[in-house]
């Protein structure tokens, strides 16, 4: 298993071979562009502290960015060692 696969496998948000950072960005864009949150809908995401209900586009963008920061920071660190 590659280092990248191991990092994705350790994520509670991304799932190896199923849902990666690119998928998350595309999903967020589609939900926002189609007025999902303006229609008062919500999504539940997995986080390191448990399930989180997202009801605003800014919350979703922030959650995705936070997980990407953790993921990519680990990815760069693993390349160094």
Instruction: Give the model's pLDDT for residue 10.
Output: 75
Specify the number of domains making up the chain. 1
- 43-47 vs 50-54, strand pairing mode: antiparallel
Instruction: Give the model's pLDDT for residue 20.
Output: 86
Instruction: Give the model's pLDDT for residue 11.
Output: 81
Is residue 28 within 8 Å of 34, Cβ to Cβ? no
Reduced to 3 states, what is the DSSP secondary structure of residue 46?
Answer: strand
Alpha helices, DSSP H only, in the chain? 3-10, 21-33, 57-80
Report phi then psi at 30, rounded to 5: -65, -45
Contacts 24+ apart (CB under 8 A), 51-58: 57/28, 57/31, 57/32
Instruction: Give the model's pLDDT for residue 68.
Output: 86
| Mean per-residue pLDDT, 11-21 | 85
Instruction: Give the model's pLDDT for residue 63.
Output: 92
Domain membership of residue 12 as a residue range: 3-80
Band (pLDDT 50/70/90 cuts) for residue 5 is low
Q: Alpha-carbon distance 33 to 22, whole Å?
A: 16
For the stretch 29-81, pLDDT in tens is: 999 999 999 999 999 998 888 999 999 999 999 999 988 888 777 665 555 44
């Amino acid at each position: 298993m590659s280092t990248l696969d191991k990092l994705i496998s350790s994520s509670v948000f991304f799932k190896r071979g199923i849902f990666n950072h690119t998928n998350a960005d595309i999903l967020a864009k589609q939900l926002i562009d189609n007025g999902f949150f303006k229609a008062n809908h919500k999504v539940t995401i997995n986080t390191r502290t448990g399930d989180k209900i997202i009801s605003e586009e800014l919350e979703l963008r922030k959650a995705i960015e936070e997980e990407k920061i953790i993921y990519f920071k680990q990815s760069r660190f693993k390349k160094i060692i």
